[in-house]
Amino acid sequence: MFNKILIANRGEIAVRIIRACKELGIKSLAVYSSADKDSLHTRFADGAICIGPAKSADSYLNITSIVSAIEVADAEAVHPGYGFLAENAAFAEACEKCGIKFIGPTSQVMKLMGNKILAKKRAEELGVPVLKWSNAPLANEKEALEVSKKIGFPVLIKAASGGGGRGMKLVHTQASLASAFNMAKMEAMAAFGDAEVFIERYCELPRHVEIQVVADEHGNVIHLGERECSIQRRHQKILEESPSPALDAKLRHKMGEAAVRLAKAIGYTNVGTVEFLLDKNKNFYFMEMNTRVQVEHPVTELITGVDLVKEQIKIATGQKLKLKQKNVELKGHAIECRINAEDPRSFVPCPGKITELTLPGGPGVRLDTAIYCGYTVLPHYDNLIAKLIVHAETREEAIARMTRALEEFHIGGIKTNIPLHLKILKDHDFIAGRVDIDFLSRFT
């Protein structure tokens, strides 16, 4: 086991990782920006090092500072959490070169899955279903038009280095293709330093369903079921649940098997998520793979009883998975509400000081957060301030439990999206499990 792990993150996920370290008897080392000196992760960790000013680019994204901190403090491993450097293959590679264990897959696998063209090609070769596509990056307008005519409009133009919905263009007609193609290339170059784009058939009103995989460094790979993540706004998920109301045991088995097949074939290690679109006819299509622990991992933890962050650490030390696929049991229903500091009407982030705080609790309630009464939500970082997760026997009971937990939750001094969550939980379509990726835009 490791002696000391550096946590290259902040907020609730840094606290979540510190908790796992403590329970495993591992020393935790926090890093923080000067704006975060009063944050909970710096207080909970066994030690803390300031790595720069408030601006992320100079602190939490500063590879040189973080690698130096790891070396100065003599940590053996680094946990990147999600966001920041979590999917940065150059960071993972820098760690590998310095003899620091990056708690995640290898930099090589991160690079492969980071390129959406290579990832999709690999999935297709393995018989994992994909939407009709260009099969390669597009060389020019003429090729883009030929491919689109073959696929049939509408089509989506996506950036090879994009992902998470960034750098996508929906094109309805032949006439608008050329300009969209050129715009997509320009934007991809500006955003990712890579102008490669590809074209894909557009899937209308799908659900976003993802499979959690866990892979050790000895070739053992299992999946822990799915998460339904359709309730989102501008590619920011708001509420996630497991199981998905759209899946039965048979479809779960098929999607899980496809995700495991991909993970095995690419030599994936540690925890990861395979994202699928699920269309109205319940056909599923591979989208991309996330090579990190996700924000919504607690819903999977609650229905499986697996501590995913502890698993990440154990896998990184070379331990074999104890859990076998046949012993994975999905028990009950879990829902997560992401609590953001924002104006509930405009969705504009709303940082500021928390002057009153009453926390929810009781049976089946989990709260992952780094806020406290008197804490100031900073404008420099993501506005997610808490994750409220509930577990119950049935979906109906989970909805009732989440409703009462949200009603107990009072955060004074700043605005939050708690009212929005309460409204979603009362919605007839939501209650019936009828959700797709446009649910929220119809709703608000």
Maximum distance among all alpha carbons in the chain? 62
CB of 100 to ligand MV4, least distance (A): 30
Give the binding-site size for ligand MV4 (rule: CB under 6 A): 16
Nearer to ligand MV4, 14 or 128 (CB): 128
> Given CA atoms 6, 12, 15, 16 in this order, what sign does their dihedral have?
negative
Asked if residue 379 binds ligand MV4 (CB under 6 A), the reply is no
**Kind and range of the H or E element at 125?**
helix 116-125
Spatial distance between the Cα atoms of 294 and 292, rounded to a whole number of angstroms: 6
**Cross-strand partners of 271:** 214
What's the CA gap between 196 and 185, in Å, rounded?
Answer: 7
Tell me how far, at minimum, the Cβ of 291 lies from ligand MV4, in Å.
13
Shorter beta-carbon distance to ligand MV4: residue 69 or 287: 287
What is d(CA 208, CA 227) in angstroms, rounded to the nearest whole number? Answer: 8
Residues 121-150 that bind ligand MV4 (CB under 6 A): 131
Closer of 271 and 437 to ligand MV4 (Cβ): 437
Distance of closest approach, residue 72 Cβ to ligand MV4, in angstroms: 38
Any idea which residue has 């098997």 for tokens?
A: 257
Asked whether position 232 contacts ligand MV4 by CB under 6 A, the answer is: yes
Out of 207, 292, 338, 401, which one is annotated catalytic?
Answer: 292
Q: Of the two residues 239 and 392, which places its CB atom closer to ligand MV4 in the complex?
A: 239
**Which range in 33-41, 200-208, 313-321, 415-423 contacts ligand MV4 by CB under 6 A?**
200-208
Report the sign of the C-alpha dihedral through residues 275, 278, 282, 286, in that order.
Answer: negative
Candidate ranges 25-33, 197-205, 327-335, 337-345; the one touching ligand MV4 (CB under 6 A): 197-205
Candidate list 37, 150, 218, 235; residue touching ligand MV4; CB under 6 A:
235
Name the amino acid, one letter, at 422: L
Asked if residue 117 binds ligand MV4 (CB under 6 A), the reply is no
The number of beta carbons lying within 10 Å of the beta carbon of residue 150 is: 11
Q: Which two tokens stand for residue 153?
A: 């409009």
* Interface positions, 19-48, toward ligand MV4 (CB under 6 A): none
Cis ω before 363 (30° cut-off from 0): no
Comparison of 196 and 200: residue with beta carbon closer to ligand MV4: 200
Instruction: Output the smallest distance, CB 312 to ligand MV4, in A.
Output: 22
Whether residue 282 contacts residue 246, with contact meaning beta carbons closer than 8 Å, is answered with yes
**Phi/psi at 336 (5° precision):** -120, 130
Q: Provide the minimum distance between the beta carbon of 156 and ligand MV4 in the complex, in angstroms, as a whole number.
A: 5
Taking CB under 6 A as the criterion, the residue among 70, 287, 367, 435 binding ligand MV4 is 287
275 near ligand MV4, judged by CB under 6 A = yes
Task: Name residues contacting ligand MV4, limited to 201-230 (CB under 6 A).
Answer: 201-203, 208
Closer residue to ligand MV4, CB minimum distance, 288 or 301: 288
**Cβ 243 to ligand MV4 shortest distance, Å:** 18
Residue 211 β-bridge partners: 226, 274
Q: 30: which strand partners?
A: 7, 48
165 belongs to the binding site for ligand MV4 (CB under 6 A): yes
Nearer to ligand MV4, 138 or 313 (CB): 138
Rule CB under 6 A: which of 421-440 touch ligand MV4?
437
CB of residue 277 to ligand MV4, shortest distance in Å: 6
**Tokens, residue 432:** 């019936």
In whole angstroms, how close is the CB of 381 to ligand MV4 at the nearest point?
A: 22
Burial level of 442, CB count in 10 A (0-12/13-18/19+)?
exposed
Which range, of 16-24, 37-45, 142-150, 195-203, touches ligand MV4 by CB under 6 A?
195-203
Residue 292 bears catalytic tag = yes
> Are 30 and 4 in contact, with CB atoms under 8 Å apart?
no
Q: Using CA atoms, how far apart are residues 121 and 136, in angstroms rounded to an integer?
A: 8
- The CA–CA distances, whole Å, from 98 to 62, 67, 78, 129 equal 16, 8, 12, 39
Cis status of the peptide bond prior to 419, with omega within 30 of 0: no
What's the closest the beta carbon of residue 3 comes to ligand MV4, in angstroms?
38
CB nearer ligand MV4, residue 53 or residue 137: 137
d(CA 396, CA 231): 17
C-alpha–C-alpha distance, residues 86 and 71, integer Å: 19
Distance separating alpha carbons of residues 184 and 153, to the nearest angstrom:
17
- Interface characters, 307-346, with ligand MV4 (x: CB under 6 A): ----------------------------------------
Chain residues in the site for ligand MV4 (CB under 6 A): 131, 156, 164-165, 200-203, 208, 232, 235, 275, 277, 287-288, 437
Q: Among all residues, which ones are annotated catalytic?
A: 292
